[in-house]
Amino acid sequence: MGGYLTTHVLDTARGCPAAGIEIALYRVTGGARAEIARAVTNGDGRTDAPILPEADFATGSYELVFHAGDYLRAHGVAGEVLFLDEIPIRFGMDEAAHYHVPLLLSPYGYSTYRGS
């Protein structure tokens, strides 16, 4: 099996999946990045399909940008300027394998890890 990339978002403040968050995926080469995919999380906080499917997979550097601002505002985080709005996560994939990069989100912090 070749490589592919999945992601999901969990709202740790509310204790549930985060639906409706737009996610952009970029391939990073040198100092430049190029958008290669865009998706929105479903009711389970996941994208409906891998954000980078096996057919498009290549090793290298990538960046996921989670557009969390609208979601946070919709769920009660007030203010003109949010502490977290767009959350970039830059990472590398060096083998043809399943990479899972989730986002654990709250209004004032986040974490990620290589999941399974």
pLDDT in tens, 33-62: 999 999 999 999 999 999 999 999 999 999
Three-class secondary structure of residue 7 per DSSP: coil
6 CA to centre of own chain: 8
C-alpha pair distances (Å), 46 with each of 18, 56, 64, 79, 105 = 8, 19, 14, 27, 13
Calculate what percentage of the chain has a pLDDT beyond 70: 99
Is the CB of residue 69 less than 8 Å from the CB of residue 83? no
- pTM for this predicted structure: 0.94
Give the residue ranges of the chain where pLDDT is below 70: 1
Give the Cβ contact number of residue 37 at 10 Å.
19
